[in-house]
Structure 1
């Protein structure tokens, strides 16, 4: 049976009382960004890889699919280990293994080894999701939301900058250099984390098989986890709807942008890093209802601007910023709440939540393909708005089910009115400038 005490010199209670220094959490944020980035390096390189290895575009796209399948398996099979295995050893082992999988990709002579390398890298990149509950465990309770927001900022920046860095390095040294460089960085990161992170052992006290089964059981037993998993699913579905369809709009006759120009739109998502910090601080103050309802309504309002964005760049950019702010606001609030449920099961709670979360992304992408081919950009915006309405309804149902005090509903109504007024003002100003 796993020990219920951390193996570090300080006890678990000591860690939660004061927590590590800010530098440790910044390192964890960088680590999260680098781990998640390893799943996105290939996306701007697919054409170059296909030409060098003599692959069709369809075969080359399997590189991305393989990474996604690997990541899904990692969420189910690897992530719960955070509740069983000593955390620093697990994280450092995963990042070192990632260095080898990146090297395998860099040296791949054919499609088979290339796919194997990227799939293994995808599975190991769930290290980012191991680090998030690890940071929550180490943080003092009154700083947990802020710490989660800080570490999540690294994830957002990793997703945003991976494609840009990959394209720039490949232009200078070829696509293989991207993976060799990433492997070296992962080795350096492993050394840094081994020196900086405290030892901390999970206390699930279950064999691995029962640990996996208990992950599903948590969804059945925890109504807050179920509600927040559904909200996260719908939020990431909205995010996926936008980014799956945006390239079609920007490359079409209305804008006619090149692939490189379209890629720069991802940098607009830096707003998500700001939202992660703000939502984390509000969660620490107990304002999770406020952040959820405002984020939900901003998410809904963003689709109105995005609809105008078919013919207005200002409206399109405004809609992208609002959607990313809202998506991250919901996501960070969700994580702050679910991490407070069962401290000894944070790895499994994260596994259950993130599996639902990424299922939402897959659902959003699949629906977008059908809707866009039949109804174009307007249909995509309607789809996003419908998903946003569903998100708000799921949250309202969870609030009413959990507690029906009139003063809470009145506070929600005031927040909703304020958010709606701000959205109306933004839309009015944009309308005047178009």
Structure 2
């Protein structure tokens, strides 16, 4: 029967709100730094704290989705992420701030539990479009967070941004527990077995190539969004926090890219879409790199970059959830470990590069990450061919070899969806 539209949109809202908690600091980094006494060259660590927490959550929390009721898992993690937001909002100094951000990031990994849940609730024929819709929520969260932070912080200060998100997560937690279907799990594996199966994924060529692409993809993404506030706040623009946050609106076109990529994936063109998106990503830096000379070119660069990143991201997720359909939580969680590491690299490297070489150095860095991703894609051609159904069949053989009963579980789940 597939996933009802209302529940699909609810999962997209969960993703949007949870991921916003990680990225909301980016447009207000200078203000946070001034408030807690962090020098410009070290501002990237404020963003990296949430990303480090997110990385841990991907490894130790997301795989739980292959074992326990994901409705309760999502509701509980939203509440715990809200606690981290509260700590961040009241933090008087740097260390408590970093603890709050890391805690929030840890439980913000609920995003990937929601993505995997959406994939499992969908029929194979609509999985790509479902992932596109849910991932659109992620884009709205990542970029809408910048707009929200800019407006709210401009009126009430940066701490009010975290209070607002805290209240939103509490409300969403209640709605999730009331409206999402129960997710009764019959997987006999222990938590140790699930983690071991996650480790085995890192030996699969398809998983590894998609993960490396994600690493460079989001390193380039992080380079732009963690560093863009620095040249826009400096000469000759001197833009306010609210004005900087408005650049996130241009990036919302990435939500359309995610939805379109889902359709391409359902049509069997996910791998080709990934390569084209990586090439566009590299070219986008020609425009984004002109931040010291033209704001309009920055807008063009932001639009192209976000469209490219999300098209490649959804294409990768579509391939992985089809290939590893009996362990979607582990596959998505493992893939997103590469994403998180890339985001941390981009966030920390861009501020250091800017302090030494200016925005031109950051632009060269971002383009270099994109070209590395394109190289990985070119070298991995042939690891996936055919339609989503072909990939799913290939994946059931892989996971069946790596996890006892994996193929049987996948066939059983397919029969249940068909019923």
Q: Same fold (TM over 0.5)?
A: yes
Q: Evaluate the alpha carbon distance shift between residue 182 and residue 286 of structure 1 in structure 2; reply closer, same or farther with a 3 A threshold.
A: same
Q: Tell me which structure has the larger Cα radius of gyration.
A: 1
Does structure 2 retain, via aligned residues, the 8 Å contact 1:204–1:344?
no
1:343 corresponds to which of 301, 325, 333: 325
Partner of 1:56: 37
2:368 corresponds to which of 380, 386, 392: 386
Q: Which segments of 5 or more consecutive residues in structure 2 lack a partner in the other structure?
A: 387-419
Q: Distance in 2 between matches of 1:385 and 1:48?
A: 28
Partner of 2:314: 332
Partner of 1:271: 253
- Per-residue CA deviations over 1:92-118 (Å, capped at 9, x if unaligned) read 111233334434444556666554433
Q: Distance in 2 between matches of 1:370 and 1:61?
A: 8
Partner of 1:81: 64
- Per-residue CA deviations over 1:325-380 (Å, capped at 9, x if unaligned) read 11111111001101111222111111211111121222334443454445444443
Partner of 1:94: 77
Partner of 1:212: 195
Q: Which segments of 5 or more consecutive residues in structure 1 lack a partner in the other structure?
A: 1-17, 405-434
Q: Distance in 1 between matches of 2:93 and 2:224?
A: 34
Normalising by structure 1, what TM-score? Answer: 0.79
Q: Which secondary structure state, in structure 1, belongs to the residue aligned with residue 192 of structure 2?
A: helix
Residues 171-186 of structure 1: pairs in structure 2 closer than 5 A: 177-186=160-169
Q: Which secondary structure state, in structure 1, belongs to the residue aligned with residue 183 of structure 2?
A: coil
Q: Distance in 2 between matches of 1:191 and 1:200?
A: 16
Residues 387-406 of structure 1: pairs in structure 2 closer than 5 A: 387-400=369-382
Partner of 2:303: 321
Q: Which secondary structure state, in structure 2, belongs to the residue aligned with residue 301 of structure 1?
A: helix
Q: Evaluate the alpha carbon distance shift between residue 399 and residue 313 of structure 1 in structure 2; reply closer, same or farther with a 3 A threshold.
A: same
Deviation at 1:72, TM superposition (A): 1.8
Equivalenced residues, count: 384
- Per-residue CA deviations over 1:134-174 (Å, capped at 9, x if unaligned) read 10000111111111111111111112222432444455555
Q: Which secondary structure state, in structure 2, belongs to the residue aligned with residue 38 of structure 1?
A: helix
Q: Which secondary structure state, in structure 2, belongs to the residue aligned with residue 344 of structure 1?
A: coil
Does structure 1 retain, via aligned residues, the 8 Å contact 2:21–2:105?
yes
Partner of 1:152: 135
Q: Evaluate the alpha carbon distance shift between residue 305 and residue 90 of structure 1 in structure 2; reply closer, same or farther with a 3 A threshold.
A: same
Deviation at 1:45, TM superposition (A): 5.7
Q: Which secondary structure state, in structure 1, belongs to the residue aligned with residue 188 of structure 2?
A: coil
Q: Distance in 1 between matches of 2:62 and 2:29?
A: 29
Q: Which secondary structure state, in structure 1, belongs to the residue aligned with residue 181 of structure 2?
A: coil
Deviation at 1:297, TM superposition (A): 1.9
Deviation at 1:231, TM superposition (A): 1.0
Q: Distance in 1 between matches of 2:161 and 2:228?
A: 26
Partner of 1:241: 223
Partner of 2:276: 294
Does structure 2 retain, via aligned residues, the 8 Å contact 1:94–1:127?
yes
Partner of 1:121: 104
Q: Evaluate the alpha carbon distance shift between residue 84 and residue 331 of structure 1 in structure 2; reply closer, same or farther with a 3 A threshold.
A: same
Q: Distance in 2 between matches of 1:141 and 1:260?
A: 42
Q: Distance in 2 between matches of 1:314 and 1:261?
A: 14
Q: Evaluate the alpha carbon distance shift between residue 394 and residue 343 of structure 1 in structure 2; reply closer, same or farther with a 3 A threshold.
A: same
1:253 corresponds to which of 235, 238, 245: 235
Deviation at 1:179, TM superposition (A): 4.0
Q: Distance in 1 between matches of 2:104 and 2:211?
A: 25
Q: Which secondary structure state, in structure 1, belongs to the residue aligned with residue 202 of structure 2?
A: helix
Root mean square deviation, CA, Å: 2.9
1:66 corresponds to which of 43, 49, 74: 49
Q: Distance in 1 between matches of 2:28 and 2:353?
A: 28
Does structure 1 retain, via aligned residues, the 8 Å contact 2:81–2:106?
no
Q: Which secondary structure state, in structure 1, belongs to the residue aligned with residue 189 of structure 2?
A: coil
